[in-house]
Amino acid sequence: MLPSAVEAFSPALLVPTAKATGIALSVLGLVRVARWAGAVSTPTARKMLHCLIGPVFMACWNMWPADALAGPWAAVVPGGIVAFFALVGQGVISDPGTVSIMARTGRAAELMVGPLEYGIVCVALTAGAFRSLLALSALMALFFGDAAAELAGRAVQAAALKRRGGALVAWLARPALPVLPARKSLAGTCAYFSAALLGAAAMTAFGLSCGWTELLRAVPASASPLASMAAVLVAGAAGGALAEAATDSDHDNLTGPAGAAAAALASGWALGVAVL
Indicate the residue among 129, 146, 171 that finishes a domain. 129
C-beta separation of 123 from 82 below 8 A? yes
Answer yes or no: do 95 and 144 share one domain: no
Answer yes or no: do 153 and 259 share one domain: yes
Q: Give the domain extent around 1.
A: 1-129
In this prediction, residue 2 carries a pLDDT of 52
Indicate the residue among 86, 109, 129 that finishes a domain. 129
Domains of the chain: total: 2
Answer yes or no: do 141 and 270 share one domain: yes
Arithmetic mean of pLDDT over the chain: 88
pLDDT tens-digit readout, 202-222: 999 999 999 887 786 656 665
Taking the C-alpha atoms of residue 40 and residue 109, their distance in angstroms, rounded to an integer, is 24
Answer yes or no: do 141 and 239 share one domain: yes
pLDDT tens-digit readout, 153-164: 888 888 887 777
Percent of the chain clearing pLDDT 90 (strictly above): 50
Indicate the residue among 90, 111, 129 that finishes a domain. 129
Answer yes or no: do 205 and 234 share one domain: yes
Answer yes or no: do 178 and 212 share one domain: yes
C-beta separation of 145 from 240 below 8 A? yes
Angle at alpha carbon of residue 111, lines to 109 and 115, rounded to 5°: 160
Render 185-254 in DSSP notation, one character per residue: BHHHHHHHHHHHHHHHHHHHHHHHHTT-GGGGTT--TTS-HHHHHHHHHHHHHHHHHHHHHTS-TTSHHH
Whether residue 104 has pLDDT greater than 70:
yes
Q: pLDDT class for 238, splitting at 50, 70, 90?
A: very high
**How many residues does this entry show for the chain?**
276
Q: How far is C-alpha 65 from the geometric centre of its chain's CA atoms? A: 22
Percent of the chain clearing pLDDT 70 (strictly above): 95
